Chain A
Amino acid sequence: MNPTRAAWIFLAPALLVLGLFFLLPVIAALLLSLTDYDLYALANLHNLRFVALGNYWELLHRPLFWSALGHTFYFVIVGVPLSIATSLGAALLLNSPLARMKSFFRTALFAPVVTTVVATAVIWRYLFNTKYGWANYFLQSVGIHPIDWLGDPHWAMPTIILFAVWKNFGYNMIIFLAGLQAIPMDLYEAARIDGASIRRQFQHITLPMLKPTLVMVAILTVAGYFQLFAEPYVMTEGGPLQSTTSVLYLMYEEGFKWWNLGSASAVAFLLFVIMFVVTAVLLRVSQRGDEA
């Protein structure tokens, strides 16, 4: 057996799986989004009609789509910087030569990452219970009025963001920690001899050296946060008053509750296009920064 034939035999299982269960469905999704595939078509394919961009046109005229998009952007725009800042802060603390018991702290801070979203979302639902939750008990003990965390449309999304930050910051913390450890110590040594303060060291050494890591982390986190689904599903069921209905939640309801698979595919594709554009813009902006 020559290496070329061996290579294709080795590749075959993986490519078959990815082709059949990923590539093919993605292409099919594009076609599906151009049809009115619904419950009737599910029963009998003769009821299927080609509607061209009809689904997209309708979506763009549906207030629920725009509000779902708005909620998703809210989650991304507030959640991502908050998550990254928390991750970076934790990594800086862990990287400090003054920190004790580093491996314990690292494990403790990372633990939420490996837990199951559904299970921890259930925990948070009770911690943020209006009447008996610890969150309000704590607020009241410092003299702040209790908040209806998950029942108030203004507070539900912030509560979910708080949850997401708690759940996810450990992941990027590990990546930042590796990035920080890769910065040569002599750079700081030289800066200290020149009398640079800690803050200036951070500004002129840490941040520039960490920039490639930051860009990558930002892009991955943005992509992840656009896929908000399990949190609202478990914590709020998209409510109250649909204030936590995300794009994927809308896709799920449209597709698997109402069985409008055509229109749901259009939702999925619009999300994909939006994510793609946002990622491309982020990349472009970070590269322009490099040239300057």
Chain B
Amino acid sequence: MNETRFSKAIINGLLLGGAIVALFPLLWMLSVSFMQPGEASSLPPPLLPRHATFGNYRELFVHAGMGRYLINSLLVSTAITLLALACNLMAGYAFAKLRFAGRERLFQLLIGGLVIPAQVAMLPLFLLLKYLGLVNSYAGVIVPGMATIFGIFLVRQYARGIPDDLLEAARIDGAGEMRIFVQIVLPLLKPIMVTLAIFTFLAAWNDFMWPLIVLTGQEHYTLPIALASLSREHVQDSELMMAGSVVTVLPVLALFLALQRYYLQGLLLGSVKG
């Protein structure tokens, strides 16, 4: 019995230690964001602000244009989420439930595309968008994210569970394919819709390399790009940068905590081979 208690202490102790290591940087960020300028650069490194202040946030929103970047991020991520949801849901359903010649081969081809890293496409994509006049615009960030192979795959996996009889019955009743999709299929796909939406939103919000390339002027910067650029200017201002990190991280963290179940489910669905 003693041995069990010992193992129990070890296991829970390790978990607690791990949780502290995982959360410490985030809690420290939050704490420093409320410190006076320069306060964090002292020894021993302070854990809590002496006199908590919103000064860093005020500075960010009033002088550094953080409000604009926040709106940019919200706008771009929401647009990508809605458009990707529409494209991926329709395509995923078609691959799962509608019969047409070459369906399996086309799907295999698509899955094969997963091995190509997105960065390979980025250089010509930049030239293409330059030609289309979309460089340094919201559309430039949004357009390549409007459909994803992963999203189509996820929807297909889930939509395969819809019974064919249900769709057949609707067809016999004379319902058109569009109506079947909207009135019968979409309600059944609701759980995967939530999963896909939060996945897409988080990925779009956190995306760095492509927005960095396509957004050449500050006015369209999303939060990660703005933060990276600010952190190069304000290397010494840890308090200000931590406030900027809080603004960047908090929305996605909150979203994840609210919809955790759906997110983790999507993660597992996506990792199961088709």
Contacts and interface: CB of A to CB of B under 8 A. Distances in A.
B22 A111 contact: yes
Given A116-B248, A120-B245, 6 more contacts: A3-B98, A3-B99, A3-B177, A9-B177, A10-B90, A98-B8
B21 interface: yes
Given A21-B143, A99-B12, A14 B231 contact: no
Contacts of B238: 126, 129, 132
A114 B120 contact: no
B128 A123 contact: no
A6 B98 contact: yes
Contact of A127 (B28, B91, B119, B232): B28
A24 to B, nearest CB: 7
Q: Which 10 A-B pairs have the closest CB atoms?
A: A6-B177, A28-B124, A14-B91, A25-B121, A7-B98, A119-B245, A10-B94, A108-B19, A14-B147, A25-B124
Interface stretch (B37-45, B54-62, B186-194): B37-45
Contacts of B252: 114-116
Contact of A111 (B26, B32, B228): B26
A174 interface: yes
A118 interface: yes
B105 interface: no
Interface in B225-272: 225, 227-228, 231-232, 238, 241-242, 244-245, 248-249, 252-253, 256-257, 260, 263-264, 267-268, 271
Interface residues of A, number: 90
A261 B123 contact: yes
Interface string A11-42: 10111011011111110110010000000000
B176 interface: yes
A205 interface: no
B162 interface: no
B152 interface: yes
Contact of A25 (B7, B125, B245): B125
Nearest to B245: A119
Contacts of A279: 115
B208 A118 contact: yes
Among B119, B127, B241: residue with most chain A CB under 10 A: B119
Interface of B: 4, 7-8, 11-12, 14-16, 18-19, 21-26, 28-29, 32, 40-45, 86-88, 90-91, 93-95, 98-101, 103, 110, 113, 115-128, 143-144, 146-147, 149, 152, 176-178, 181, 202, 205-206, 208-209, 212-213, 223-225, 227-228, 231-232, 238, 241-242, 244-245, 248-249, 252-253, 256-257, 260, 263-264, 267-268, 271, 273
B129 to A, nearest CB: 9
B273 A109 contact: no
Contacts of B249: 115-116, 119-120
Nearest to A227: B117
A248 interface: yes
Interface string A77-115: 000000000000010011010111000110111111011
Nearest to A170: B22
B96 to A, nearest CB: 10
Contacts, number: 277
B181 to A, nearest CB: 7
B119 A122 contact: no
B168 to A, nearest CB: 10
Contacts of B263: 114
B120 A268 contact: yes
B41 A132 contact: yes
A71 interface: no
B116 A272 contact: yes
Contact of B40 (A117, A126, A265): A126
A193 to B, nearest CB: 18
A137 interface: yes
A174 B8 CA distance: 21
Nearest to B46: A132
